Amino acid sequence: MAGAAAEAAVLGELRRIVGDEHAVEPAPEHLRDATETRGIEGRADAVVFPGSAGEVAAVVAWCYEQNVAITPRGGATGFAGGAVPTEGGVVLALERLDRVRSFEPLLWRAEVEAGVRTEHVHRLARESGLLFPPDPGAAEQSQIGGNIATNAGGPHAFKYGVTGRWVTGLEAVVPPGELISVGGPIRKDVAGYDLRSLLIGSEGTLGIVTAAWLRFVPAPEAAFPVVGLYPDVRAGCAALERVVGSGLVPAALEYLDGGALAAAGPSYPGGTPAGAAFMVIAEADGTAEEAGRIRDELLDVLGQDAIAVQAPEPVELWRWREGVAFAVISLRGGKSGEDVVVPLDRLAEAVEETVEIGRRHGLEACSWGHAGDGNVHANFVVDPRDEAELDRARGGAEELFAMAIRLGGSISGEHGIGWTKRGWLEHQWGPRAVELHRELKRAFDPKGLLNLGKKV
Ligand SMILES: Cc1cc2nc3c(=O)[nH]c(=O)nc-3n(C[C@H](O)[C@H](O)[C@H](O)COP(=O)(O)OP(=O)(O)OC[C@H]3O[C@@H](n4cnc5c(N)ncnc54)[C@H](O)[C@@H]3O)c2cc1C
């Protein structure tokens, strides 16, 4: 069987498992994710929307028996092409697994299915005076399963850590189609190998997350951001190191370089003073008294050598910060971004070299990101219709990865390896460590059908 006949046969079998309306022919939106402005698009025979963990297991079992590749798909906001079905087969979309199975605010915990949107978890916590700290930028669209699969971060990961820190247990389907539970509504567990951590950040290559036990903390009473503006990268990075060295623990510690500031500055609520070419954002949180004290100390520490320091209103500031990527996109219609990591004391070099790499490839480049974590969102400004330009951006990305490794960092701090960085793991890890990755992949997925071509 080939082509349309094969597609019809796959659809027929999947419909038998999930019902006619929940297995469909792929539409263009099922073949892309947030990398679509970089021209990345896949192909698939069918898209299936299981309604329960049992149906996910049955779909995986059928695909495994028939040697059909499976691409798990959450909210499709990923920046590494991880949810794009680059090798054909079946797209397994988790959006119908959207139940909150339990929520116990007095015990600071919940069990939610993988397709629950990130913002829904935030709201659930907020309405009970709690906080679910992971705050990746596309929370209205991304799913908790996708956040777990990428171990997503965000601005407040500096104090609170990335998604995995807030997951105490997972339910997942692993090949050849079995449902497993690791961890649970418990806060400590050292009984076995840490399979929970192995599944977190595995980008759908080891198993399909169907539900998670999440933990919360009481929400801080107050959060006060502080902004410092500096004449250049070196002065801004020195300020960042002063904050860390001062012993203060801000909830977030972010930066924007001159290019990002030039793009997003016009809509900045505080107004950027003349000569500002680097911005630091820090946020103090805690009780109102504690947050107020830390804010005052941050104003002091950030104020040295600054052109200006400000204490903006939090909601306005963070709304603006979320829009920085869109301000950069609006320059030429697109951007090609990577999320490399470097040690904090190499941040200034990474920020300057990003611009230099762009220049070498004839591209305007800028960066912003989670400075405290050394997480640089390095971006080339592109016209997405210009193939030659996209090609040059791909060349620039390779240099960004090489730079991160040379500076003692990582090729990805948040977005994962996915499709766009395939092959690069070998450059960051030694041969034995890479082989261990492959052996783990074989142990979970001996036929190599789960998110084929991604990560390893
Ligand atoms: C505007 C914008 C801002 C962003 N800001 C941030 C940020 O601050 N921090 C950050 O970390 N990321 C950020 N991202 C990237 C993205 O939102 C995250 O990577 C997010 O975690 C992806 O979740 P998703 O549900 O959209 O997953 P998808 O994009 O659908 O999938 C991502 C990967 O996870 C796999 N996957 C999805 N669901 C499952 C599952 N249930 N089981 C197993 N594998 C699965 C997919 O196969 C794929 O490999 C941003 C994206 C956008 C568009």
Nearest CA to ligand 1 atom 27: 146
Whether 2 shows a pLDDT value over 70: the answer reads no
CA of 140 to the centre of ligand 1 (A): 12
Q: How confident is the model at residue 12 (pLDDT cuts 50, 70, 90)?
A: very high
CA of 147 to the centre of ligand 1 (A): 5
CA of 34 to the centre of ligand 1 (A): 9
Q: How confident is the model at residue 3 (pLDDT cuts 50, 70, 90)?
A: low
pTM to 2 decimal places: 0.96
**Contact present, 76 and 83 (Cβ < 8 Å):** yes
Nearest CA to ligand 1 atom 44: 204
Q: How confident is the model at residue 14 (pLDDT cuts 50, 70, 90)?
A: very high
User: Could you tell me if the CB of 384 is within 6 A of ligand 1?
Assistant: no
Q: What percent of the chain has pLDDT over 90?
A: 95
Whether 1 shows a pLDDT value over 70: the answer reads no
Which has more pLDDT, 30 or 35? 30
Burial 218-239 (b: 16+ CB within 10 A, else e): ebbebbbbbbbbbebbebbbeb
What's the pLDDT at 38?
78
Query: In the predicted model, what is the mean pLDDT of residues 100-125?
Result: 98
pLDDT in tens, 62-83: 999 999 999 999 999 999 999 9
The residue whose CB lies within 8 Å of the most ligand 1 atoms, and thus the one to mutate among 150, 195, 203, is 150
What's the pLDDT at 129?
98
Burial (CB < 10 A; 0-12, 13-18, 19+), residue 201, is buried
Q: What percent of the chain has pLDDT over 70?
A: 99
**Contact present, 150 and 203 (Cβ < 8 Å):** yes
CA-78 nearest atom, ligand 1? 29
Single-letter residue type at 412: S
Whether 51 shows a pLDDT value over 70: the answer reads yes
pLDDT in tens, 124-167: 999 999 999 999 999 999 999 999 999 999 999 999 999 999 99
CA of 416 to the centre of ligand 1 (A): 9
What's the chain's length in residues?
Answer: 456
For residues 414 and 295, give the distance between their C-alpha atoms in angstroms, rounded to a whole number: 28
Query: In the predicted model, what is the mean pLDDT of residues 105-123?
Result: 98
CA of 98 to the centre of ligand 1 (A): 16
What's the pLDDT at 5?
72
Query: In the predicted model, what is the mean pLDDT of residues 447-453?
Result: 96
pLDDT in tens, 373-429: 999 999 999 998 999 999 999 999 999 999 999 999 999 999 999 999 998 999 999
User: Could you tell me if the CB of 325 is within 6 A of ligand 1?
Assistant: yes
Q: How confident is the model at residue 61 (pLDDT cuts 50, 70, 90)?
A: very high
User: Could you tell me if the CB of 50 is within 6 A of ligand 1?
Assistant: no
**Contact present, 32 and 76 (Cβ < 8 Å):** yes
CA of 146 to the centre of ligand 1 (A): 5
User: Could you tell me if the CB of 204 is within 6 A of ligand 1?
Assistant: yes
CA of 106 to the centre of ligand 1 (A): 29
User: Could you tell me if the CB of 415 is within 6 A of ligand 1?
Assistant: yes
What's the pLDDT at 6?
73
pLDDT in tens, 328-343: 999 999 999 999 999 9
CA of 144 to the centre of ligand 1 (A): 9
- Give the range among 6-15, 128-137, 289-298, 372-381 with minimum mean pLDDT: 6-15
Nearest CA to ligand 1 atom 19: 78
Residue spans of alpha helices (H) in 142-187: 144-150, 157-160
Burial (CB < 10 A; 0-12, 13-18, 19+), residue 197, is middle
- Using DSSP's 3-state secondary structure scheme, residue 389 falls into helix
CA-137 nearest atom, ligand 1? 5
The residue whose CB lies within 8 Å of the most ligand 1 atoms, and thus the one to mutate among 36, 48, 77, 419, is 77
